[in-house]
């Protein structure tokens, strides 16, 4: 009887300690939220999606009472702005999200990023079991750039009035003479999804293929809206380097744009625009923590995925609907051990593949 009593007391102590720890953790989180409210707002750079901007502004303010000031645009341009401001001693941005290449070459390399891991506070965000592949980082130090997305994507879209999908069985079909002057391309000479697929093709098919592709008289632009509209209006037949969110307004308008399925065995896994960082010297540090934990939580990842058409790594967010738009979440199709072989956004890949491919693009494209 005495042993049973001691066991009950011991278990009660452990349970009580667990409850106390949970209460303490929740109390700490509440203090961070309150401090964030006192800071008044959070300044975040986000991809060039009007729908994402609108949804985040509305939902985040409703959820926490903190104003979200969002700067939407192409990541390379915003990174340049952050760089110039920091050099001038001006700190406006708290959080930056977008593609990995400009983060690695423009923010990480210049020491502009703060350590991100301490900002992972909420249990649903912090626990690696909630994420396909656990916690995945872009940077080698595994501290600064968090990757929330992982998916296979079709980065070639076509005008259904001008192209038959069966005309494309392989990337080699892009070299057919009938497509000369009819291919739009998000400029691969600068960081972004245009360079992402350009570098993938360079690694997969070699320099000779890339030079032939360049010889197709590509319609190059750094403006995603211009390229998407050109395809929707039939000014070009194909566009390479854009994904779902760029075409969303035209899809809703019923215009003839659709993604081309990637040829078999010619796919890579993208992190898309779902990489997130905290800028060193962030003027609203507590609001930044609140935002990061919301964004990486279930609601934040659902909001991002619906607006961007990109596949989260969170297990509790449905991603099967993305298949209609040429996107297959890695968690729905791959095992985590396949990821290192197929990813195209880590620090190593940026410097060993994407940067050399971009340099080649600058040499051969006019």
- Tell me what pLDDT residue 265 has: 61
- Tell me what pLDDT residue 16 has: 57
CB contact set of 325 (below 8 Å; sequence gap of 6+):
244, 251, 259, 309
The pLDDT > 90 percentage for the chain reads: 74
Instruction: Say if CB 329 and CB 308 are below 8 A apart.
Output: no
* CA–CA separation, 309 and 326 (whole Å): 9
Q: Measured between alpha carbons, how far apart are the two ends of the chain, in Å?
A: 87
Instruction: Say if CB 275 and CB 189 are below 8 A apart.
Output: no
* CA–CA separation, 131 and 315 (whole Å): 6
- Tell me what pLDDT residue 324 has: 84
- Tell me what pLDDT residue 13 has: 55
Confidence of residue 260 (pLDDT cuts 50, 70, 90): confident
Instruction: Say if CB 345 and CB 191 are below 8 A apart.
Output: no
Per-residue pLDDT for 153 more than 90? Answer: no
- Tell me what pLDDT residue 1 has: 55
- Tell me what pLDDT residue 267 has: 72
Per-residue pLDDT for 10 more than 60? Answer: no
* CA–CA separation, 336 and 351 (whole Å): 23
| Total count of residues recorded for the chain | 366
- Cα torsion 137, 98, 191, 204: sign: positive
| 330-336: average pLDDT | 94
Confidence of residue 180 (pLDDT cuts 50, 70, 90): very high
* CA–CA separation, 361 and 366 (whole Å): 9
- CATH homologous superfamily of 152-270+354-364: Periplasmic binding protein-like II (3.40.190.10)
- Tell me what pLDDT residue 295 has: 98
Confidence of residue 290 (pLDDT cuts 50, 70, 90): very high
* Closest to 311 in 3D by CA, of 216, 243, 357: 243
* CA–CA separation, 152 and 267 (whole Å): 7
CATH assignment of 32-148+271-331? 3.40.190.10
pLDDT in tens, 217-249: 999 999 999 999 999 999 999 999 988 888 988
- Tell me what pLDDT residue 21 has: 45
Residue 152: phi and psi, rounded to 5, are: -90, 135
| 185-189: average pLDDT | 95
* CA–CA separation, 88 and 364 (whole Å): 35
Give DSSP secondary structure letters for 210-254. HHHHHTTT-EEES-HHHHHHHHHTTSSSEEES--HHHHHHHHHTT
Per-residue pLDDT for 25 more than 80? Answer: no
In which residue ranges of the chain is CATH 3.40.190.10 found?
Answer: 32-148+271-331, 152-270+354-364
- Tell me what pLDDT residue 254 has: 93
Within its chain, how far is the Cα of 248 from the centroid?
Answer: 17
Per-residue pLDDT for 356 more than 50? Answer: yes
| 101-126: average pLDDT | 95
The pLDDT > 70 percentage for the chain reads: 92
- Tell me what pLDDT residue 31 has: 96
- Tell me what pLDDT residue 184 has: 97
3 state DSSP class of 206: coil
Q: What is the mean pLDDT of the chain?
A: 90
- Tell me what pLDDT residue 8 has: 44
- Cα torsion 194, 257, 171, 154: sign: positive
């Amino acid at each position: 009887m005495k042993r049973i009593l001691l066991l009950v007391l011991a278990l009660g102590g452990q349970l009580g300690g667990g409850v106390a720890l949970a209460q303490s953790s929740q109390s700490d989180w509440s203090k961070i939220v309150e401090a964030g409210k006192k800071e008044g707002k959070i300044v975040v750079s986000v991809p060039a999606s009007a729908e994402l901007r609108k949804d985040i502004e509305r939902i985040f303010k409703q959820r926490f009472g903190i104003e979200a000031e969002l700067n939407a645009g192409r990541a390379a341009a915003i990174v340049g702005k952050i760089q110039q401001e920091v050099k001038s001693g001006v700190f406006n941005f708290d959080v930056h999200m977008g593609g990995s290449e400009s983060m690695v070459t423009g923010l990480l390399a210049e020491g502009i990023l703060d350590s991100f891991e301490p900002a992972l506070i909420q249990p649903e965000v912090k626990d690696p079991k909630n994420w396909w592949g656990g916690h995945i980082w872009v940077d080698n130090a595994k501290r600064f750039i968090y990757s929330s997305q992982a998916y296979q994507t079709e980065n070639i879209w076509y005008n259904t009035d001008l192209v038959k999908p069966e005309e494309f069985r392989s990337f080699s079909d892009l070299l057919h003479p009938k497509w000369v002057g009819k291919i739009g391309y998000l400029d691969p000479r600068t960081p972004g999804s245009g360079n992402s697929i350009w570098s993938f093709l360079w690694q997969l098919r070699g320099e000779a293929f890339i030079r032939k592709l360049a010889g197709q008289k590509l319609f190059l632009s750094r403006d995603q809206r211009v390229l998407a509209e050109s395809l929707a209006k039939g000014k070009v037949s194909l566009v390479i380097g854009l994904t779902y969110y760029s075409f969303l307004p035209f899809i809703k308008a019923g215009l003839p744009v659709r993604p081309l399925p990637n040829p078999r065995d010619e796919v890579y896994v993208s992190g898309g625009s779902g990489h997130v960082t905290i800028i060193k010297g962030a003027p609203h540090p507590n609001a930044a923590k609140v935002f990061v934990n919301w964004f990486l939580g279930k609601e934040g990842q659902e909001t991002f995925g619906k607006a961007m058409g990109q596949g989260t790594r969170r297990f509790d967010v449905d991603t099967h609907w993305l298949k209609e738009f040429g996107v297959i979440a890695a968690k729905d199709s791959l095992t985590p051990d396949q990821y290192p072989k197929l990813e195209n956004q880590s620090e190593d890949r940026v410097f060993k593949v994407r940067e050399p491919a971009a340099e080649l693009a600058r040499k051969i494209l006019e």
